[in-house]
Structure 1
Amino acid sequence: MRQRRDTLKNSEQELRIFRVRALLAVLVVITLACLLVGRLGYLQIVKHDIYTTRSEKNRVRVEPLPPNRGLIYDRNGVLLAENRPTYNLTLVRERVDNLDDTLALLVELLELPEEDIEAFNVRSRQRQRPFQPALLMSDLSEDQIARLAVNRHRLPGVEVEAQLLRYYPDAEVMAHTLGYVGRINAEELQNLDAGRYAGTHFIGKTGVERFYEEELHGEAGLRKVETNARGRVLRELGRTDPVPGQNLVLTIDKSLQTLAYELMDGRRGSIVAIAPATGEILAMVSTPGFDSNQFVTGIDVASYRGLQEDLDLPLFNRSIRGHYPPGSTIKPFLALAGLAEGVITPDSTINDPGYYQLPNDSRRYRNWLRWGHGRVDLERSLAVSNNTYYYTLAHDLGIDKLDERMSGFGFGQRVAHDVQGESSGLMPSREWKRERFNQPWYPGETLSVGIGQGYWQVTPLQLASATATLANRGHWVKPRLALEIGDEPVAHDLPGTLDDIHLENDAWWDRVFSGMEKVVSGSEGTARRTGVGLEYRMGGKSGTAQVFSLGQDQRYNADELAERLRDHALFMAFAPIEDPQIAVSVIVENAGGGSTHAAHLARAMTDAWLLKDDAPEADEIREVLEEDSANVEGN
């Protein structure tokens, strides 16, 4: 009986088993506790910085603060480019769950037209720096803002930002001079300072806006904000204010610029006016113009195509990129070259039978007056714009001296300090022709250069700059558009200014000026109708640039030609002669003789600058032009 009881229950064995199991349980608990403590230590100590940063990113967000772009004023303090408050739509791709679905919803909410959807989608995928917002749409309407606000919970990563947007009050008048800002594209993004342009969506594209981008833009700031799980800002934790861009005061006179635009009356061409003593560009108009405000927010496809396909080329800046034969406007410069080289004297004369012939050449290079002007000296050659005198002078000088002397006035090179996109024009030479055509220079080509035709091409800005240097008696002052940057005035003595032109006899300037004065005030002057009632002494020179070449015995008849095949009208002038305050160049495409149309516009510009309120209005000038249009004389 006792033996059976021992078999059924062994207390010592049970106690031993219990102790083993308890020990194992304790070991398991201790091991797990050690693993837990170790993991906590690893996370809290080793990975402390990483997880702290991740936690802060979920709670704290750093937002860039774009600077306010500097304003642009004219010389009298009139605002030319301002910043207006607007609302922009931005998207941060890294915060969007499904980009395609989000874009589809935005298109639906904004009710975008079919032609704008593709561009909208392209902007959303434009390469951006991580967590930088991409600008999808500018200048949202109140209705669009309301729809986005109601659906905000469905649009993570999409924000409506209040920003200042560039606006040009006189867009068409100032379009080519000021240029415009536009959205930063992918290529520009690669070259921009990431910190300075953080949060900035616009950059200067053309004109003054592009040349002075660094000064106008400013420095970006930032703010640190606390957000909730939905990304809504709860409070601001810190802030570094942006530094606004510097304001820019231009040399442009808005009233003179507006007058120049009105005088052109929609015709193709350009007017440039410069203050000779300082190089300040008072007006620089290229017509037709365009509404530069369209490019700020992004011009629609149809409007842009319309501008591109317009035969009048409104996007083309004729003032600085238009190439035109200077015609007879360069005769005063050639006369000075002849005097400086000793080829002529102020009293040298020729007998003009109506043509010029090279030695041993039967071809006749005709004067514009086919029966000739008879006995012609320097002053009369300018007054009546005699071609034969300058054929002779050009032949005696030769192309090498012509190239050298005309380059001294800035022809064939960029002349301005801060005019973005300026062309150098073309001053032909032996070397240029050999490189361009692999051909020698022919004597007949020198004669063409002598009357401002052939290969010679100038821009309206070049012609105005050369006229200002002429008015200064050879003293060079580089043309410029900026008068003040911030609080600092722009110096007159600018780098790259050409050397002054010195003549052996200072009285030679007076003789050339006398001939130019006779152009507008003399009894034989080609632009004598322009000088009627003139209240100051003005020197000028008309020019007619051929669009196509005439044959040996052909005669020009504007009435028989298509409008775009007619001659260009040119005129250059400065006034007053004794103390020049303004130099002007005018080019009107296909308007015929420069002695009428272009001359009256130049006179209107000098009147407006010198006489101020007593100057005639643009409508009065147009009436004079209509009366004078049938009386084209000279070139």
Structure 2
Amino acid sequence: MTGSRKRRTRRRGRRGGKGLILALVLIVLAGAGMGGASYYYIQARNQAAIPKPDELFVRYVSFLSQGSYGEMYGMLDDQSRREISLEDFVSRNQNIYEGIEAAHIQADIKSVEEPQENIAVVNYQMSLDTVAGAVSFPNQVTFVRDEEGYYHMSWNDRVIFPEFSKTDKVRVYTEKAERGEIYDRNGTLLAGRGAASLVGLVPGKMSAEPGQDMEHLSSLLGISTEGIEKKLGAKWVKGDSLVPLKTLKKVDELNLKSGAPSEENLQDRALQDELLTIPGIMITDTPVRSYPLGEQASHLIGYVQNVTAEDLEKHAGEGYLTDSVIGRSGMEALFENELRGTNGCTVAIIREDGSMNRVLAAIPKQDGRNITLTIDSGLQSAIYQAFKEDKSCSVAMNPYTGEVLALVSTPSYDNNDFILGMSQEKWDALNGDGRNPLLNRFRQRFAPGSSFKPITGAIGLDAGTLDPDRDYGEEGLSWQKDESWGNYHVTTLHNTNPATLEHAMVLSDNIYFAKAALETGYDAFASGLDRLGFNQDLPFEIAVAQSQYSNMERIVTEIQLADSGYGQGQVLVNPIHLASLYTMFPNKGNVMKPRLVHDKDMEPEVWLPGVFTPEITDRIENAMKQVVSSPEGTGRAAYREDLTLAGKTGTAEIKASKTDTSGTELGWFAVYTADPGQPAPLLLVSMVEDVKHAGGSGLVVRKDKAVLDAWLPVAPQ
């Protein structure tokens, strides 16, 4: 064979310029008929060395890795090209390799055999990654040598896969993972598999002249007649097909049979009954993501929606399909990676009759993980019912463990509407509602007003500047330090006499706590707040706004410091942060870390250990007990003879300037069970906006009292 190659080389040398002309002609022919596919051979003909079969196959695999299917075709022998056209070759290879998302294609050549003259067989191990995992298999390919000594690939479908035939196909099957469910601490479903009513239309059962019916259907479903007709005109639709039009809430039959069915449920039934009067309409059950608490927990649980093109681009390679869903807000978004699971995928060779030839690669599906929250859905519902008409938020915790038992923001929206398909009218109504029902208030920060006074008192006691038994003097209802304050005065609602810490706490005396802050001083006051997590991220599963005590790096003026002492000035606090800080009183100076994910084996964790001594927290707690139990206490409306409660009210003015008289007010109440033996301990912090003409913080106290009575029923006498 070596000798024949030399003789041919010498003959090419004698032809001289004719050989070069032939090469140029082949290039032109390749460009016209083979898309430049023979370039590799033409180039080789102008070199001294003839490429070996293994070298050619390496080049073929390189073209395959690049998706250069036309170049691959140019390496085939004449017989192979007679059996498959360039167009069919490119289409078959492209559909298979790109369909299985082939990547990292490699061939490890094991040997080259020459079973007969002019034939070479390359044995190799092929490996590649697919959408269903890695594939590796042994294979072989034959090269045929032409009269001039050059090798060309003898190609058939077995070059793709060893057991592949011309009539076989490669299919990718996806088995969707079930999305994990979300439960409360008692096993009550908060988000998971539910049922809805699918409204569909069977074209063959429509009336002969459906125009009027279509108008009626359009008005009932809020879908244009053009939209309905487009659905009916899809290629797959036949006379007996059920064409889905819209998904509606499933009618709660138990609620209808109750003595007082809800108005919403009655409306849902009436709508579906009227839909069924239209010829061709059918209503069937369909599985959907369901949120049983609806508006009672929508800001907490959130919702999922179908992925968009932007989602697919942002999360490329993460297993999302065009019909996947993704968490948009709340727990659904926070735990998206845990909840969504991993889809199963199989790449298989399928015979012409549809039977399975071989599974090439498979990834088993992994259903999403279930999440259990520390939330108690009963308490969540009780708080929502108490505050649903208000612009408010509430945080309920176990003060000894930091477990968050409820997170409520009102007004609210029904997250099920996002699953069923919210109408533009409803979406516009939500966005146009001045009460901001889409705003998650428990993630924001607000002026805490007098609910901040226990913190000011604790900082003053810790700094040694506040004597709890000292009488700060009777100042009436208005006070200023000196004339340098100009026209500005600190005002309060109740005259305090004697002006001691406990009495000032009971009557919520602004003047007393303004003086306390001034005596503490800028640096000690700010240092105390820094120690309590201000201007820091709260260590909590949900990202919330940082609490602050100034818009600048520090408290700037004397008046700002005085106002900060009673929770005004530029002090802004996140409600979850405030609730966490209140845990330091029943825990003797330890601030508990708030928790939202339930784990029965998890031990309570201290976030800020020993921020104050037990003597200081006991002193503040005793004063807060009097806020509730004293007849003159601002939290007296929450008093229960069978419970020891400690708490603090707060009213914060929200105005554009110090002289503004048209501003509104925020009302607060922070209260907790102060008896360590209480079997169901509870700390509840609630904030309501616009209480200026609605009873101030007293409104919040009364609503929290209703919650406490629902959660901790009064013991029978």
- Normalising by structure 2, what TM-score? 0.62
2:706 pairs with 1:604: yes
Alignment correspondent of 2:612? 503
- Cα deviation per residue 1:375-404 (whole Å; 9 max; x = unaligned)? 211111100111111111111122332222
The equivalences for 1:54-453 within 5 A come to: 59-84=169-194, 113-114=223-224, 165-192=288-315, 194=317, 196-198=319-321, 201-223=324-346, 240-321=363-444, 323-354=445-476, 355-361=478-484, 362-363=486-487, 365-369=489-493, 372-419=495-542, 421-428=543-550, 431=553, 441-453=556-568
1-side partners of 2:522 and 2:457: how far apart? 14
Look up the SS of the partner of 2:636 in the other structure: coil
1-side partners of 2:548 and 2:345: how far apart? 49
- 1:49 CA drift (Å): 4.8
- Cα deviation per residue 1:176-195 (whole Å; 9 max; x = unaligned)? 01111112223322232635
Tell me the percent identity: 27
Q: Which amino acid aligns with 1:84?
A: G
- 1:578 CA drift (Å): 4.1
2:710 pairs with 1:588: no
1-side partners of 2:696 and 2:338: how far apart? 40
- 1:471 CA drift (Å): 2.9
Q: Which amino acid aligns with 1:571?
A: F
Look up the SS of the partner of 2:439 in the other structure: coil
Q: Would you say how many aligned residue pairs link Structure 1 and Structure 2?
A: 501
Alignment correspondent of 2:646? 539
Alignment correspondent of 2:668? 570
- Is the contact made by 1:183 and 1:298 (CA closer than 8 Å) also made in structure 2? no
- 1:481 CA drift (Å): 1.4
Q: Which moved more, 1:344-353 or 1:188-197?
A: 188-197
Q: Structure 1 unaligned runs (5+)? A: 1-33, 89-107, 125-135, 144-149, 151-161, 434-440, 616-635
- Cα deviation per residue 1:448-480 (whole Å; 9 max; x = unaligned)? 111111211122222222222333222122212
- Is the contact made by 2:491 and 2:511 (CA closer than 8 Å) also made in structure 1? yes
Alignment correspondent of 1:8? none
- Is the contact made by 1:256 and 1:283 (CA closer than 8 Å) also made in structure 2? yes
- 1:550 CA drift (Å): 7.5
Look up the SS of the partner of 2:499 in the other structure: strand
Alignment correspondent of 1:621? none
Alignment correspondent of 2:25? none
Look up the SS of the partner of 1:513 in the other structure: helix
Q: 1:579 to 1:468 in 2, by over 3 A?
A: farther
- Is the contact made by 1:566 and 1:591 (CA closer than 8 Å) also made in structure 2? yes
1-side partners of 2:226 and 2:414: how far apart? 19
2-side partners of 1:141 and 1:233: how far apart? 39
Look up the SS of the partner of 1:284 in the other structure: strand
- Cα deviation per residue 1:236-256 (whole Å; 9 max; x = unaligned)? 975654111111111110010
The equivalences for 1:5-44 within 5 A come to: 36=79, 39=82
Q: 1:192 to 1:358 in 2, by over 3 A?
A: same
- Cα deviation per residue 1:178-223 (whole Å; 9 max; x = unaligned)? 1111122233222326353357611111111111111111111024
Q: Which amino acid aligns with 2:527?
A: E
1-side partners of 2:313 and 2:334: how far apart? 19
- Is the contact made by 1:288 and 1:313 (CA closer than 8 Å) also made in structure 2? yes
Q: Which amino acid aligns with 2:173?
A: E
Structure scoring higher RCO (CA < 8 A, sep ≥ 6) equals 1
- Is the contact made by 1:72 and 1:82 (CA closer than 8 Å) also made in structure 2? yes
Alignment correspondent of 2:105? none
- 1:226 CA drift (Å): 7.6
- Is the contact made by 2:297 and 2:408 (CA closer than 8 Å) also made in structure 1? yes
Q: 2:621 aligns with which of 510, 513, 522?
A: 513
2-side partners of 1:317 and 1:388: how far apart? 33
Alignment correspondent of 2:213? none
Q: 1:291 to 1:479 in 2, by over 3 A?
A: same
2-side partners of 1:58 and 1:368: how far apart? 87
Q: 2:593 aligns with which of 449, 455, 478?
A: 478
2-side partners of 1:173 and 1:227: how far apart? 50
Q: Structure 2 unaligned runs (5+)? A: 1-76, 84-141, 144-151, 199-217, 235-243, 251-271, 273-279
Look up the SS of the partner of 1:83 in the other structure: strand
- Cα deviation per residue 1:310-347 (whole Å; 9 max; x = unaligned)? 101111001112x3210000111110100000001221
Look up the SS of the partner of 1:358 in the other structure: coil
Q: Which amino acid aligns with 1:66?
A: K
Look up the SS of the partner of 1:203 in the other structure: strand
- Is the contact made by 1:182 and 1:298 (CA closer than 8 Å) also made in structure 2? no
Look up the SS of the partner of 1:534 in the other structure: coil
2-side partners of 1:141 and 1:73: how far apart? 21
- 1:374 CA drift (Å): 2.9
2-side partners of 1:575 and 1:86: how far apart? 42
Q: Which moved more, 1:468-477 or 1:536-545?
A: 468-477
2-side partners of 1:539 and 1:56: how far apart? 81
2-side partners of 1:185 and 1:570: how far apart? 41
- 1:501 CA drift (Å): 3.2
- Cα deviation per residue 1:290-322 (whole Å; 9 max; x = unaligned)? 01112235433222222111101111001112x
Look up the SS of the partner of 2:570 in the other structure: coil
- 1:542 CA drift (Å): 0.5
2-side partners of 1:300 and 1:524: how far apart? 52
- Is the contact made by 1:573 and 1:584 (CA closer than 8 Å) also made in structure 2? yes
Q: 1:268 to 1:233 in 2, by over 3 A?
A: farther
- Is the contact made by 1:223 and 1:237 (CA closer than 8 Å) also made in structure 2? no
1-side partners of 2:81 and 2:472: how far apart? 109
2-side partners of 1:523 and 1:79: how far apart? 43
2-side partners of 1:56 and 1:307: how far apart? 58
Q: Which moved more, 1:299-308 or 1:38-47?
A: 38-47
- Is the contact made by 1:180 and 1:295 (CA closer than 8 Å) also made in structure 2? yes
1-side partners of 2:172 and 2:157: how far apart? 21
Q: Which amino acid aligns with 1:418?
A: E
- 1:234 CA drift (Å): 6.8
**Structure with the higher fraction of residues in helix conformation:** 1
- Is the contact made by 2:326 and 2:333 (CA closer than 8 Å) also made in structure 1? yes
Q: Over the residues paired in the alignment, what is the CA RMSD in angstroms?
A: 3.9
Alignment correspondent of 2:581? 466
Look up the SS of the partner of 2:591 in the other structure: coil
Q: 1:309 to 1:514 in 2, by over 3 A?
A: same
Q: Which amino acid aligns with 1:603?
A: K
1-side partners of 2:161 and 2:245: how far apart? 36
- Is the contact made by 2:582 and 2:591 (CA closer than 8 Å) also made in structure 1? no
